[in-house]
């Protein structure tokens, strides 16, 4: 019997080489984040707009008492703006960020080729989060790396807003 929080065992030996990831929708895109980067998932919270930030930054929200940037994953990856069904809090080098996502599809073992094998995904500012590309069933899947998700100017704007009275 599997207990809550345990990852199901892979069905075959080839899946064992993959990464354990949380899979979700971001507009028309299918995405995944390595499970060890995930802090929690939650319903979308109110976000306050941040002046001078890129269009993919929804704003800043408060997660567990800490001002946290909110990134619209669909818009960041070129899928256009999408309604946020969930926030996915993930760890980065500079702190936690909230990814505004669509439906959370669950924990899966995924295999993805590094983006070095996909020249179209190299160097674009909007794809700074893409660590690899794979498939889930017949759909392409983007494996994201949250560590590069938030540009410095967003962290700076968040810090300034955190110091302002509410």
Alpha-carbon span 132 to 152, nearest angstrom: 23
35 pLDDT tier (thresholds 50, 70, 90)? very high
Q: Which residue range(s) make up the domain with 117?
A: 26-162
- pLDDT at 161 exceeding the cut of 70: no
The 10s digit of each residue's pLDDT in 72-127 is: 999 988 878 889 999 999 998 888 999 999 999 999 999 888 765 455 554 454 55
Alpha-carbon span 7 to 35, nearest angstrom: 10
Residue 118's DSSP bridge partners are: none
58 pLDDT tier (thresholds 50, 70, 90)? very high
Residue 42 lies in a domain: yes
Residue 17 lies in a domain: no
pLDDT (0 to 100) of residue 27: 92
Q: In what order do the strands lie in the sheet with 112-114?
A: 104-110, 19-26, 29-34, 139-144, 130-136, 112-114
- pLDDT at 145 exceeding the cut of 60: yes
pLDDT (0 to 100) of residue 76: 87
Residue 86 lies in a domain: yes
Residue 103 lies in a domain: yes
Residue 149 lies in a domain: yes
Q: What's the CATH code of the domain at 55?
A: 2.40.50.180
Residue 148 lies in a domain: yes
Domain count, the chain: 1
40 pLDDT tier (thresholds 50, 70, 90)? very high
Residue 55 lies in a domain: yes
Residue 36 lies in a domain: yes
Share of the chain above pLDDT 90, in %: 43
For CA atoms 122, 125, 128, 132, give the dihedral sign. negative
pTM higher than 0.85: no
Instruction: Please give the residue that has the higher pLDDT: either 65 or 146.
Output: 65
Going by their DSSP bridges, the two strands 66-72 and 95-101 should be labelled as parallel
- pLDDT at 130 exceeding the cut of 50: yes
Residue range 30-49: mean pLDDT, rounded? 94
């Amino acid at each position: 019997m599997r207990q809550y929080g345990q990852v199901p065992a892979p069905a075959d030996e080839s899946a064992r080489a993959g990464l354990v990831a949380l899979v979700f929708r971001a507009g028309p895109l299918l995405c995944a984040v390595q499970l060890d980067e995930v802090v929690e998932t939650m319903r979308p919270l109110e976000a306050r707009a941040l002046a001078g930030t890129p269009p993919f930054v929804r704003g800043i929200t408060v997660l567990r008492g800490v001002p946290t940037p909110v990134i619209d994953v669909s818009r960041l990856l070129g899928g256009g703006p999408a309604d946020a069904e969930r926030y996915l809090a993930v760890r980065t080098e500079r702190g936690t960020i909230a990814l505004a996502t669509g439906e959370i599809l669950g924990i899966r073992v995924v295999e993805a080729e590094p983006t070095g094998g996909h020249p179209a995904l190299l160097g674009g500012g909007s794809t700074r989060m893409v660590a690899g590309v794979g498939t889930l069933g017949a759909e392409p899947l983007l494996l994201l790396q949250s560590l590069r998700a938030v540009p410095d100017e967003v962290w700076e704007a968040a810090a300034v807003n955190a110091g302002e009275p509410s």
